[in-house]
Structure 1
Amino acid sequence: MPGESGAPLVPSPPPPILLLPHDALLKILSLLPLRQLVLCRLVCRPFRDSLSSPPVTPPLPLLSFRYSHPHFLLSYDPASSSHLRFPLDFLPFPSASPVTSCNSLVYLWASSSDDILTPNPDPHPKPSKSLVVANPVTRNFKILPRLGSAWSRHGTVLAGPGGAVVVLVELAALYFSPQSTHWRKFSLNLPSKPRSPVLIGDGSIYTLCDVGAPWRSQWKMFRVRVEELGSGWGLVERDGWGDVFDALKRPRLVRGGGDGEVLMIGGLRSGFAVDSPCSTVMILRLDLGRMEWEEAGKMPMEMYKCFATAAPGGSGGQGGGNNKVKVFGGEGRVWFSGRRVSGRMAMWEEEKVGGGSWRWVEGIPGYGDGVYRGFVYNAGFTEIP
């Protein structure tokens, strides 16, 4: 087609970078940080196609926050002390609540797709939720079979490699694998509600249970392999452990820096009396190969005082008074959030030498009561639901 001057229009030559061989383009893109790679996918089709190939950059370890927001997934990058927002507008839901992740995949609770996409839904529908697995970087997602609302309100979601998912409540567990079309249900047969269960890379679930009396808690650790959920849990203990579970008030489990480690975090009791106050927060590490505990970290007193409550028996972030505190993390990092430290969190990071380091994470946007909950998310292009 001629232009205004009558001369034919000559198409503009492509940018020089698009003339490079595919391998050379991948090499250049691999030098960019992940946050810039996300933007590069929006530049042109060749960039998008190149970044849909095998991974060109290592995943970015992040802390993602658990809260309902219809537009994005809020995450924190410990390496750069900055926040990232991953748009969730590719999901066909008015809102979705992220709960956990496995590698580059995030799991979110959302209203059933039928409730949203059906033109004339049932006027008296039964409450239901679906777990959605998505990669916010590649903007791909998959909807798992729907569940009753009780599972989403009270269940703990554990996600493993290969798409395996376990949802635990007080008396039962649901298991889903990509090879099946429905959830399988199992009785837990545990002495009490599982506390802070964690799924380790070898396919084992570890959890704490209170086996004590109503007036005094006594914690024990239990274990089961995912494929053996119907066979019962085994007690994890050794004679040489002594009073390791009695030393911590309201302990919680977090995945360690490797598949062979579990961290246990709780308020360090100053004595063994029922109402004994705590002196700080202790992090213990269990080496699953040697089945031995060791001290991994102890919260500095200046930091502990910010979480401590003036109520009798205050445990510095592990209960006591009205101080609501959450402990979460994984892969060698643990975060602590509470009402008295609104807008920031304490962070512990495992180190090969010296045990670990503590620091404050500042400038976190406030949501609800200011108590944050989160999970480790390795953002990247490496996995598609």
Structure 2
Amino acid sequence: MPGGSCPDPAAEAQLPPPIHHLPPDALHNVLLRLQLRDAVVCRLVSRLFHETLSPQLLALLPTLRLLLLRHPRPDGGGCLHAFDPARRTWLRLPFAHFLPYQSFSPVASSTSLLYLWVETSSSTSPLALQSTTTSSSAASPAHPLKSLAVCNPFAGTYRLLPQLGSAWARHGTVLAGPGGMVLVLTELAALSYTPSESGKWMKHPLSLPSKPRSPILASAAVFALCDVGTPWRSQWKLFSCPLDRLTGGWAPVERAAWGDVFEVLKRPRLLAGAGGRRVLMVGGLRSSFAMDAPCSTVLILRLDLATMEWDEAGRMPPNMYRCFTGLCEAASQGNAMPATAGGGNNKVKVFGGDGKVWFAGKRVRGKLAMWEEDETGSSGKWDWVDGVPGYDDGVYRGFVFDSGFTAIP
């Protein structure tokens, strides 16, 4: 080039990309516009993004609400499947890169934290193997030694909670509360763990008439259903206990105006409503009060904890419920109606939380039914969720997980 020198292609190739010249504040402004999942992926792009997208910066992003599926078999290949309702997409969350346990099962969650039962005997970590050597005599092939772990799958960190007996892992229901509080409930007692206090499990006897069914946390209290009926006919009653009175605080929740609200549902189950201010009770709607009466559909009742009044929140559409009874499959194949469908004995798996309810069944292949609570007080929204991964392995269950970086174990 006349009057100058030609640019060196090698030198131009070594120049940093233009984004490296952005001021830090401008770069933060750009990256904070990403959703949490995209921001975590961007950390792997370059050293600049990894250093800029620090855990402190990621904690400023809104949490990502997911439906986390619990694999029918604990040995799920080192990953879990989750559904993003906002994007209507399925995600695969890997755990093998930070969790040294081959067999694990998710059981509960709080904001950013996920709680798992892990088989410590399957650990590849020398430290974990050393910690379980003294307890190996208590484990057996039928009941391998399990520990409760808390992790943040997006941050890639985990921590084992103090050891529990094997009976708690087999029969206990785990609830995750605020501030890292954990509850494990069985038929006779409950254990509580709070990191900010003693750091040990505290035992609380349960003064309940039967094993608590589908316990949930709502409005700083534990709610559960108990069967107070006979061996021949179930009769359900609602009980509650404040979190600050786990010993001796259980009491029935009942009002004369409720009438036979617990008699209209078959196999009721509790779930937390939107915002923690409501309790949802989901079950099959009995066609009559006879003992073997078939169910006509699935009914969702809602208890407002402020007014202590029940109302009908949702009712599964008939054409959707027929798919769970096998009528849709039989009609498509030209077969007769299944005998179990006529008897109303089909079980629909119900799970979710915070105003979202999902339904799974053996007769519904590769998809879930979804109901979303409507804050305006209407009957909510029903829809199908297709593409459930690995459905041939069995019927999934799950729960809501608000993933994020606001808490790291």
TM-score where L is the length of structure 2: 0.85
In 2, the alpha carbon distance for the partners of 1:47 and 1:17 equals: 10
In 2, the alpha carbon distance for the partners of 1:38 and 1:284 equals: 38
Unaligned runs of 5+ residues in structure 2 are: 1-9, 140-144, 327-338
Aligned residue in 1 for 2:330: none
Which deviates more, 263-272 or 291-300? 263-272
Alpha-carbon offset, residue 262 of structure 1: 0.7
Aligned residue in 1 for 2:62: 58
Aligned residue in 2 for 1:340: 363
In 2, the alpha carbon distance for the partners of 1:13 and 1:95 equals: 47
Tell whether 2:109 aligns with 1:101. Answer: yes
Aligned residue in 2 for 1:194: 212
In 2, the alpha carbon distance for the partners of 1:381 and 1:105 equals: 9
SS in 2 for 1:355: coil
Aligned residue in 2 for 1:5: none
1:1-385 correspondence runs (5 A): 12-51=14-53, 52-54=55-57, 55-67=59-71, 68=74, 69-89=76-96, 90-112=98-120, 117=126, 118=129, 121=133, 124-127=136-139, 128-179=145-196, 180-200=198-218, 202-308=219-325, 310-311=339-340, 314-315=343-344, 320=345, 323-353=346-376, 354-367=378-391, 370-385=394-409
Which deviates more, 235-244 or 9-18? 9-18
For residues 37 and 314 of structure 1, do their structure 2 counterparts lie closer, same or farther at Cα, with a shift above 3 Å needed?
A: farther
Aligned residue in 1 for 2:334: none
Which deviates more, 287-296 or 344-353? 344-353
SS in 2 for 1:125: helix
Aligned partner letter, 2:216: V
Alpha-carbon offset, residue 9 of structure 1: 8.6
In 2, the alpha carbon distance for the partners of 1:213 and 1:129 equals: 34
Which deviates more, 324-333 or 297-306? 324-333
The 4+ residue runs of structure 1 with deviation greater than 6 A are 8-11
In 1, the alpha carbon distance for the partners of 2:373 and 2:273 equals: 9
**Count, aligned residues:** 371
- For residues 236-275 of structure 1, the C-alpha deviation after alignment (integer angstroms, 9 at most, x for no partner) is 0111111111111110000001121110001111111222
In 1, the alpha carbon distance for the partners of 2:257 and 2:393 equals: 42
- For residues 46-84 of structure 1, the C-alpha deviation after alignment (integer angstroms, 9 at most, x for no partner) is 323333124242111110011232422210112222111
In 2, the alpha carbon distance for the partners of 1:14 and 1:362 equals: 44
Contact 2:206 2:248 in 1 (8 A): no
Contact 1:339 1:369 in 2 (8 A): no
Percent identity over the alignment?
55
In 1, the alpha carbon distance for the partners of 2:254 and 2:342 equals: 28
TM-score where L is the length of structure 1: 0.90
Contact 1:324 1:371 in 2 (8 A): no
Higher helix share: 2
CA RMSD of aligned residues (A): 2.3
- For residues 114-134 of structure 1, the C-alpha deviation after alignment (integer angstroms, 9 at most, x for no partner) is 965236945953223211111
Contact 1:286 1:293 in 2 (8 A): yes
Which deviates more, 55-64 or 106-115? 106-115
- For residues 294-352 of structure 1, the C-alpha deviation after alignment (integer angstroms, 9 at most, x for no partner) is 1100000011111126338744xxxx2xx443100011110010111131111111123
SS in 2 for 1:207: strand
Alpha-carbon offset, residue 45 of structure 1: 3.5
In 2, the alpha carbon distance for the partners of 1:122 and 1:233 equals: 37
For residues 225 and 18 of structure 1, do their structure 2 counterparts lie closer, same or farther at Cα, with a shift above 3 Å needed?
A: farther
Contact 1:92 1:113 in 2 (8 A): no
In 1, the alpha carbon distance for the partners of 2:121 and 2:46 equals: 31
Contact 1:112 1:146 in 2 (8 A): no
SS in 1 for 2:275: coil
SS in 1 for 2:229: coil
For residues 19 and 266 of structure 1, do their structure 2 counterparts lie closer, same or farther at Cα, with a shift above 3 Å needed?
A: same
In 1, the alpha carbon distance for the partners of 2:245 and 2:163 equals: 23
In 2, the alpha carbon distance for the partners of 1:60 and 1:124 equals: 38
In 2, the alpha carbon distance for the partners of 1:218 and 1:91 equals: 43
SS in 2 for 1:243: coil
Contact 2:184 2:191 in 1 (8 A): yes
Contact 1:325 1:371 in 2 (8 A): no
